[in-house]
Amino acid sequence: MLPIFPLAGVLLLPRARLPLNIFEPRYLAMVEDALGSGRMIGMVQPLDPTGREREPAVYDCGCAGRITSFAETDDGRFLITLTGVARFEVGREVEGARGYRRIVPDWRPFRTDLEHEACGDIDRNRLLGALKSYFRVQGLSVDWKSIESTLDERLVNSLAMICPFTPGEKQALLEAPTLAERGKLLIGLVEMAILDSHDGDGPPPKH
């Protein structure tokens, strides 16, 4: 069984790292229990990112991560880092524990997540060119030498996680079957965001 943490707009991918600030009592309990039994937590997104249900319907696909760093603050919060292990499909939900939800995950569709994906299938020139315009539009400064030296898998997965895409776009990136397909989708989303920003640069409409 795998505890799940439904969180809209948050993406975890294999071998990528996700820092989390845990403060809600049921998720404090979830982290405590995970630390004592395998350290695994499944990140999933609610189907309705604006919903306020205590137990929202979630997407069928999520990603499990292992707690690889842990700290407790003076005010009782947990600061953890999840390192992505593998994606899963939600097989069925079982009885929760201490207020948090648990599922039986189906790992079979994503067996290859346990292996590093080969480099070379990403159009890096197109991706880096789009990123330069995208980060300029977003007003962000980045370490280009670091980006240019990052291997394909880490680059694509890190960008998919940190760029401010919509929850639906994040889910599409999660569900992309291969790194190459995720890279193509990432490039398309970045280029679309650039076009959208240019659409807002023109003169005001005449009345």
Over its length of 207 residues, how does the chain's per-residue pLDDT go in tens digits?
A: 999 999 999 999 999 999 999 999 999 999 999 999 999 999 999 999 988 888 999 999 999 999 999 999 999 999 999 999 999 999 999 998 899 999 999 999 999 998 877 666 789 999 999 998 888 888 878 888 888 888 899 999 999 998 889 999 999 999 999 999 999 999 999 999 888 876 655 444 444
Domain boundaries, the chain: 2-114, 124-199
CATH match for 2-114 among 2.30.130.40, 3.30.530.20, 2.20.28.270, 1.20.930.40: 2.30.130.40
Distance CA 174, CA 37 (A): 26
HSE value, Cβ hemisphere, 13 Å, CA-based, for 18: 28
Strand partners, 66: 40, 83
Q: Which residues, including other chains, have CB under 8 Å from residue 34's CB and lie 6 or more apart? A: 3, 40, 41, 67
Per-residue tokens: 14: 């294999």
